[in-house]
Amino acid sequence: MCGIVGYVGSGQALPVLLDGMARLEYRGYDSAGVAVVSDNSVTVVRKAGHLEALTKELAGMELPGTTGIGHTRWATHGAPTDGNAHPHCDCSESIAIVHNGIIENHDVLRAKLVREGHSFSSETDTEVVAHLIESIIDEESCLLIVAVTKVVQVLEGAYALVCIRAEEPGCIVVARQVSPLIVGAADGMGLVASGIPALLVYTRDIVPLEDNQIGEIRAEGIRLFDFQGNEAPVSTVRVEWNLEAAEKGGYEDFMLKEIFEQPQALRDTMRGHFDRQGRVKLDDVNWKPGVLERIDKIVVVACGTSYHSGMMAKHSIEHWTRIPVELDLASEFRYRDPVLDDRSLVIGIAQSGETADTLAAIRFAREMGATVIAVTNVVGSSITRDAAAVIFTHAGPEIGVAATKTFLAQLVALNTLALYLAQERGSMSRDKMIETITAMNALPKQVEEVLAIRGDVRRAAKRYADATDVLFIGRGVGMTVAMEGALKLKEISYIHAEGYAAGELKHGAIALIEPGVPVVAIVTGQKLYDKMLANVEEVRARGAETIMVAPRGDERARALANELFEVPPTKPLLTPILDTVTLQLFAYFVAKEKGLSPDKPRNLAKSVTVE
């Protein structure tokens, strides 16, 4: 899986493919390749490594064709080698295909094809599809779209397929089942991509393919069909992002740029949700009659950083609404036999809107009768079509693989939802509601204040960049900040880091403390303040060096700190938004001290579209 680009038109395909693939590099990948149709043949070039390796391989080659496909791969079947990179071909090398997702029954299909005389050159599940298409065309002398329509009938799993054929040089055929795929048309060209940034230079009007949909893309236009061959309407979505939003804008890395974009991301996400009378509005959420009144349980499902935003939101939702909240990793949710009914509200969180595990979880919840609401950053993504209602985080495109601004925007969106539920159910006093909304409206300015202490954070990063292990501790909502901080550090600096509830140290983790081990301590609120500082004393007594994240002016925290990150005071349940920014900066500067690329950490993908 990872990035897909396709072009058909009157100009050369290769420059468009390479440009689009570069714009999808944020997804993370381990190899890249292109296939171009010219002179009734398909030329395939592919290389393990980053796009630079492919570009070097292409240097001096003549590929004048006007139809082509490109792919950046994140390995799921087969090691990241030249041979396993996409595109893949059939035996005759006249059909080329790129693919995101997983063909679950590829072993059975491969065995059948081998018995029929097909020869495979890779370990991938993708190559199976190329041979299946070849087999049908050989038997029926049909067009590519007819063959693809027949092939999808036997495929099991999630996939986005993009195919070209030497004998049909003006045509690209696409198919989607779960894995995201979009198409577009502009100025005599047809376009295909797995992500919006690849198309923005050419068009703002995109067509997201639905599940079980096939498309025929030509320079003259787009035709869509369902898997049974029935023609479907072509519905466009207008994208308001501009190209500048997908560029670094003077910052050294996308991650740093996106950290500094967080104040605006919060403003944009909150915009229109709070009126002057102190009421919360969710105008885009159309609740079915009686849903709000009968909710007796909320379940949050998410993966990775989105899981941590759900963990933080659990505190505010329960405190403000008095509705019990369960939190589940989306990858585990379906397998624990959860108890759901029409009184359950399930919140699915996915910044891309395409996370396969989260999509599967909310589809399961919907089948069980639960009301499903999604929180996502991408209009037109799969999760928006699977949920009964959607709250968008208006953070704009996020290029860095490690989530930053989308995470903070998720927290604001989830807190907005919590306040709305409290308002509609009458579980929060009017004065407390206004007080909390006022505090939320102050957050963008306070994040700017946190960004102003980046010099303190950089100094600490320089001091501890050579650490082999870092422990993050906190209590209450501070524990969730600790877990997110640990994830960020391990993601982009490759330092082993763990987030713990500080009260659990004595039950095992304190055995890891030895002189010089850095411990990042999150001090939030007054409820557990003394207990938290006692936990800090425990690790200091065993030789740990402490990095304290605490409200501005906290002298007791300062006295216990080897390094101190001060944040503006706010309501306790909102402090994670400010505390997290310091740890994003810390992870970023540690990675830079180690000479690593924070935008493209190894082995990670921005949008995980396989389970």
Which two three-digit tokens encode residue 494? 């490759």
Please state the length of the chain. 611
Decide if 2 is catalytic.
yes
Residue 3 to residues 48, 249, 251, 427, 608: CA-CA distances in angstroms? Answer: 14, 23, 24, 46, 11
Catalytic residue among 488, 592, 600, 606: 606
**Phi/psi at 484 (nearest 5 deg)?**
-70, -40
506 as an active site residue: the answer is no
Task: Please list, residue by residue across 23-46, b when 16 or more beta carbons sit within 10 angstroms of its beta carbon and e when fewer do.
Answer: bbbbbbbbbbbbbbbbeeebbbbb
Residue type, position 298, single letter: I
Positive or negative CA dihedral for 11, 17, 19, 24? Answer: positive
Sign of the CA dihedral with 407 first, then 409, 410, and 412 last = positive
Q: Measure the CA–CA gap between 574 and 571, rounded to whole angstroms.
A: 5
Collapsing DSSP states into helix, strand and coil, what is residue 361?
helix
Task: Extract the runs of DSSP E, i.e. beta strands, from 468-516.
Answer: 469-474, 496-501
Q: What is the dihedral of CA 104, 108, 110, 114, to 10 degrees?
A: 180
**CA dist., res. 567 & res. 265, Å (int):** 19
DSSP string, 243-264: GGGGS-TT-SSHHHHHHHTHHH
Query: Rounded to whole angstroms, how far apart are CA atoms 122 and 312?
Result: 44
229 contact partners, CB below 8 Å, separation of at least 6? 149
The string over 484-521, giving b where at least 16 C-beta atoms fall within 10 Å of a residue's C-beta and e elsewhere, is: bbbbbbbbbbebebbbbbbbebeeebbebbeeebbbbb
Q: Is the peptide bond before 87 cis (omega within 30 degrees of 0)?
A: yes
Amino acid at 514: E
Q: How far is CA 520 from the centre of its chain?
A: 26
Residue tagged active-site, from 2, 89, 171, 303: 2
- On whether the CB atoms of residues 410 and 393 are closer than 8 A, the answer is yes
Q: Which residue's entry shows tokens 């490109």?
A: 70
How far apart CA 378 and CA 239 sit, in angstroms, is 10
User: Could you tell me if 349 and 373 are in contact, meaning their C-beta atoms sit under 8 angstroms apart?
Assistant: no
Terminal-to-terminal C-alpha distance of the chain: 11
Longest dimension (CA), the chain: 80
Catalytic site residues?
2, 606
